Structure 1
Amino acid sequence: MPQFTRDLEMGPVTPHSPGQESVDTLSSTIPPTPALLGANSATALVPPPSSPKPKGRASRMIRFRLWFNTYRKFYTLIVTLNLIGLVLAATGKWQYPRQYTGAFVLGNLQCAILMRNELFGRCLYLVVNTLFAKWPPLWFRLSCTSALQHLGGIHSGCASSGAAWLVFRIVLIASNYQHFPASILTAGVVTCVAIFISITSAFPWVREAHHDVFERYHRLVGWFGLLSTWLFVILGDSYHPATHSWHADGLQIVRQQDFWFAVGMSVFVILPWTTVRKVPVTIEIPSPKVAIIRFERGMQQGLLSRISRDSGFMEYHAFGIISDETLANTTLFVAFKAISHNLLLIAHRVIFGRGNSRLFAGVSNSSKLYKRGIRVCTGTGLGAALSSCLQSPDWHLIWIGSGQEKTFGKTISALIHALPPQQYTLWDSKERGGRPDPMKLIKETYISWGAEVVFITSNFGGNREMMEGCKEEGIPVFGTLWDF
């Protein structure tokens, strides 16, 4: 059995980021839990034994529970309720949505936009963290975190429902085309096409394989859809089908529900862009694989930032933020070579640049709800995880990676080693000659640390393995999002 050395140190577990080292088949047997060993463990490194046979997949019930997560529950609930209303309206059993279809269209779309508004998300996290930190039952706090993490399910459900109501609205107009001018029908069709393009560009296979395409189409076509929505609303509310006449009176438009929904949509779209700032950054390149981007300002833990090298209208890339305190002088991003944007940063060897930054809350921000927890991360997932442990002594870091100090540099290493040794566990698979059994490591640390919850940041395979393992062990866990 190998012994723990100084390269394996103690601390709470960390979540995951894209492009990290895979832990999908982590198999090497690990030593006893670090928390149970002294800080000066034996330094002799014994080669690990041959890897045990990989464990089989979790039960179907566990996999189904992970698949049918809160995101899909929100989506299913919203789409089902809207579908019931749509069927009742289409069959003539409910007349209200036939008369005010625009309100159902824009009400759903406004809610969809609101769920992706970064300022609204920050406010939700602030309210929940302020009101429910530590004292309510654990199941309630876990439910709060799950709901906050999966707001994207409401976003997707409302967007899909709004598109369905819009199709219904166009069908109603087309079926009574003799009572409507062609301009209204044309505006409706253009709006519908824009919304469907925006939705299609957000499909997971587009988003993951062609992220820049997703950003440009989802954002720019979405903005065009908002403009065409305004045209559709103004034309529709200015025309009286019964008299076949136009009424240019602005009061008639202002009195309609869909006008105010359109106002709300516009405000929610524009408001986050008022917070965009151009800030000076410096870039440190500790290895060909990683760029560390720093700017002056401390940040609270659990925040992520979108940064862009252009005007910000074409593309943004989200990174976890590393800051040891809210009043710190500098904040760090860790950028990995796997993303083309980051390749540019590294290839150009940029020493000084300027980029736009926007902050939004991630699931780690809800760590304040828990008395003690573990942050598990692999590779560059450290960027999303480290601040929780730097800013709270109640969170233990587990970081699994290869050539950690060589790849990430002394800056990151110094931040970690400034923590008390019992607060972090580092596993450098290159130095130790193999990867750990992540579930054994998590389970033992969970017990010894007295944790209430585990947050994981890893790649798809590693996230799946650890999430399934934690669910089987009955350990409350939140992993990396692959649905938003």
Structure 2
Amino acid sequence: MDQVSPQVPSAALSLLDEKEKLAKPAAVHVISAKSSTTFELEHTVEELSSSTLPDSNSSRDHTSSLSLDEKAISWEDFHNDNYSNKKQNRVIRNLRFQLLNVYRRLFTVAFIANMAIFIAFCVRGASVPKLAEITVSNIFVAVLIRQEYVVNAIFAIACSGPQSWPLWIRLKLCRVYSLFGGIHSGTAASGTIWLILFCGQATRNFVDGGAISVHTLGVSYAILLLLLLMVVFAYPALRSKRHDTFEYIHRFMGWTVVGLVWSQVVLLNNDFKGHLSLAHALRNDPTFWLVVVLTGSIILPWLKLRKEPVRSEVLSKHAVRLYFDYDEPVPGSFIRISNDGLFEYHSFATISVPGTKGFSAIVSRAGDWTSEMIASPPSRIWVRGIPTTGVMRIVPLFRRVVVVATGSGIGPCAPHVFAKLSTIQLLWTAPNVRETFGDKLVDDILEASPTAVIYDTRKSGKPDMVKLVARLVKEFDAEAVCIISNTPLTKKVVYGMMSRGIPAFGAIWDS
């Protein structure tokens, strides 16, 4: 059957001020929590019925049209819904979806596996070089799992599953975004504990007059001190309060640790090389080659550091949109930009439009750096590495999905709306939407997704997001929910959906 793209409604009225018409022909679907009045659209049922939904078993080339059912979603009275139908008792829910979420399960697996081997080595004993190899192996995995090319490759593999696959398989693939943080933090913490054992064994070896030199011992304890500081500042509560400090410590102490590890590997091989030459000992030491690859993975993004030209469009006193021409990132990607090129980097989602060269990014006011960016937009800006995929990369795994954005969270969501790789019901809540983000972005989104729900919180107040999202999932018959918002709301919505048996995904901040 031929698919016909639905026409965009030419006018719609705000519930709170029906006399004030929207400035653009595309309709902004704003609702009022106090009213169940529906919108009066200029299209009739007969006109809308010409649009058809694709077969639910078809693949990703099906999303260019919407059905009458999608036009008839009745969610405006969501605040009256009774949504207390949670699937499990409170203890099980909290244990499964909060205390032992997927990130923490992966951390636990990596950590417990290491500790089982650790205990065995403590009982049976192990040579100092072997302990060094295990320590560096954990640090190697912790670094490599967060490397940009590795992240993109793993996401590409996991998200290549077709939408025709059973939902339970696709839901397992979606958990890929928890993999990076869970394994990174699990192996980093484990590597630090292994280093404690290494330092203890090395100290005993030195005291007993063994092969360990005082230089090797001193470098080892310096590495341990720096790693302990990095682990402490990476603790979620401290990291959120002292985020800039965490970034500086993680970056510059991390580089220092890598340099010291190089020294340690060379010194340790020199201590235990026996009659062999140092070069021969290094060539045959697995730890040496792990450090070579580890160092290359850290250097690679900085080799792509450059100052890119950028066209800036100030949307309002709260937001600026930056336009780049150098790449066409896949939906769900983000870039790292900086004013100085070395110290303060910030990540922003890329907004790409199919068939259009380049991409854009929305920077909204959230502190001194973003305020300066809005007040004095740059003509050139430092960009490090390549566009890297994040949690929203999973959206195309679903046939029908509710995508939720609050405020500038529309940035990671917009490219999926434009790409149309899935049938999407968009919910975007923000204060003064058009005034803050501009007519162009709002109109482009509504043109790509005429059924998008844009909720102006300045006019209608903050909605009960769990109720609203639950209603949209039910009316839209969605397979899952993907949300980009602040930490508390993301956790609230994800828990609210998961505890009711609705798959939901959002960013995690634990690693």
TM range (shorter): 0.7 to 0.9
Instruction: Report the counterpart of residue 195 of structure 2 in structure 1.
Output: 166
CA distance in 2 between counterparts of 1:198 and 1:388 reads 36
Cα pair 2:329 2:387 within 8 Å, conserved: no
Deviation per CA, 1:139-165, whole angstroms, max 9, x where unpaired? 121111113333211000001111111
Deviation per CA, 1:114-141, whole angstroms, max 9, x where unpaired? 11101101011112223x1213221121
> Residue 299 in 1 paired to residue 326 in 2?
no
Cα pair 1:9 1:421 within 8 Å, conserved: no
Instruction: Report the counterpart of residue 72 of structure 1 in structure 2.
Output: 104
Instruction: Report the counterpart of residue 175 of structure 1 in structure 2.
Output: 204
The one-letter amino acid paired with 2:205 is N
Cα pair 2:155 2:176 within 8 Å, conserved: no
Pick from 274, 277, 301 the counterpart of residue 272 of structure 1: 301
Deviation per CA, 1:418-462, whole angstroms, max 9, x where unpaired? 22412x11111223x323332332223223323211101111221
Cα pair 1:299 1:328 within 8 Å, conserved: no
Pick from 356, 367, 391 the counterpart of residue 395 of structure 2: 367
Cα pair 2:85 2:500 within 8 Å, conserved: no
Alignment of 1:318-329 (within 5 A): 318-325=347-354, 327-329=355-357
Cα pair 2:159 2:174 within 8 Å, conserved: no
CA distance in 2 between counterparts of 1:378 and 1:472 reads 22
CA distance in 2 between counterparts of 1:133 and 1:345 reads 40
Structure with more relative contact order (C-alpha pairs < 8 Å, separation 6 or more) = 1
Pick from 287, 297, 300 the counterpart of residue 316 of structure 2: 287
Identity level (%): 25
CA distance in 2 between counterparts of 1:266 and 1:440 reads 48
CA distance in 1 between counterparts of 2:495 and 2:195 reads 40
> Residue 409 in 1 paired to residue 430 in 2?
no
SS at match of 1:284: strand
Instruction: Report the counterpart of residue 474 of structure 1 in structure 2.
Output: 501
SS at match of 1:473: coil
Instruction: Report the counterpart of residue 54 of structure 2 in structure 1.
Output: none
CA distance in 1 between counterparts of 2:431 and 2:122 reads 59
Question: Unaligned regions of 5+ residues in structure 2, if any?
Answer: 1-13, 19-26, 40-67
> Residue 391 in 1 paired to residue 422 in 2?
no
Instruction: Report the counterpart of residue 61 of structure 1 in structure 2.
Output: 92
Alignment of 1:16-95 (within 5 A): 28=33, 31=36, 59-67=90-98, 68-92=100-124, 95=126
CA gap 1:38/1:90 in 2 versus in 1, 3 angstroms? closer
Cα pair 1:110 1:261 within 8 Å, conserved: yes
Task: Note the C-alpha offset of 1:302.
Answer: 0.8
Alignment of 1:425-440 (within 5 A): 425-431=453-459, 433-440=460-467
CA gap 1:412/1:381 in 2 versus in 1, 3 angstroms? same
Measured on the aligned residues, the alpha-carbon RMSD in Å equals 3.1
> Residue 108 in 1 paired to residue 126 in 2?
no
CA gap 1:112/1:331 in 2 versus in 1, 3 angstroms? same
SS at match of 1:236: helix
TM-score by length of 2: 0.81
CA distance in 1 between counterparts of 2:351 and 2:236 reads 28
Instruction: Report the counterpart of residue 219 of structure 1 in structure 2.
Output: 251
Cα pair 1:284 1:351 within 8 Å, conserved: no
The count of residues paired between Structure 1 and Structure 2 equals: 451
CA distance in 1 between counterparts of 2:368 and 2:179 reads 27
Larger displacement relative to structure 2 (445-454 or 260-269)? 445-454
Cα pair 1:28 1:51 within 8 Å, conserved: no
CA distance in 2 between counterparts of 1:304 and 1:466 reads 23
> Residue 147 in 1 paired to residue 147 in 2?
no
Pick from 445, 449, 456 the counterpart of residue 476 of structure 2: 449
Instruction: Report the counterpart of residue 459 of structure 1 in structure 2.
Output: 486
The one-letter amino acid paired with 2:149 is L
Cα pair 1:39 1:421 within 8 Å, conserved: no
CA distance in 1 between counterparts of 2:82 and 2:474 reads 25
Cα pair 2:402 2:481 within 8 Å, conserved: yes
TM-score by length of 1: 0.85
